[in-house]
Amino acid sequence: MRRQAICIAAVAAVVALAPAGRGVIAADHLDAPTRTDAAVDPTPDIPADIADVYAWHTATKVIIAVSFAGPGPAARPATYDRDVLYTINIANGPVKTKPSFAIKYRFGVDRSGGTPRYGVQVTGAPGTSGAITGPVETRLEKDGVIARAGLFDDPFIFDLQGFRATRSSGVLQFNNQRDFFAGTNLTVFIIEIPRDRIENEDNPIGIWATSARFGGNL
């Protein structure tokens, strides 16, 4: 199985690394619904369900965060599935759907000590020599790139109740005091990359994420 989340605003399909410093974000929970939505599939593939892709930059670095496997209650632990491969695609050429860089990450578990210890492996980060590996919930750094995977509070703010009421009635019923995602958690992968390794003169940068399950249907 392969599915993807693309940073979008309205119908935009790229995140612009523009001088104004503006970015776009998007929620993509339960997509594709036939594989990740319990209302459609009684055995949803929660680990492969990308929730959000966030990207922003400073004068010297680009930060990308991909959340998945949620939202869930605060008491639920993070989700690390060794059979799911996640990819962050970055396009800095004229074609924003053709990746210039493909940063891949996946999880594994070490049971040698009796207590399972989860770790993450990151490959393809621009400017790195070899993989970035280490335990989750830990700041990992190699060749100027910083990565971390772990459990985080869901940063997305949205009135899902108002959205559903608006969709069914055709009348706007949003309430900015309601946040469906308040108090929920997600598993998140974050990577920080020196900006000069990604930018390409004044070309906008396209960023999107995909997940693929080993042994699934492409």
Contact 208, 5 (CB under 8 A): yes
35: left (phi over 0), alpha (psi -120 to 50) or beta: alpha
Backbone phi and psi for residue 8, each to the nearest 5 degrees, phi listed first: -140, 155
With 0-12 / 13-18 / 19 or more C-beta atoms within 10 angstroms meaning exposed / middle / buried, residue 72 is: middle
CA 190 and chain centroid, separation:
8
**Mean pLDDT in order along the chain per 10 residues (218 residues):** 38 37 55 72 85 93 94 90 96 90 96 88 96 97 97 90 93 93 93 95 90 73
Give the DSSP letter string of 167-195.
Answer: HHHSS----TT--TTTTEEEEEEEEEEEG
Note the pLDDT of residue 216: 61
Place of tokens 């699934």: 216
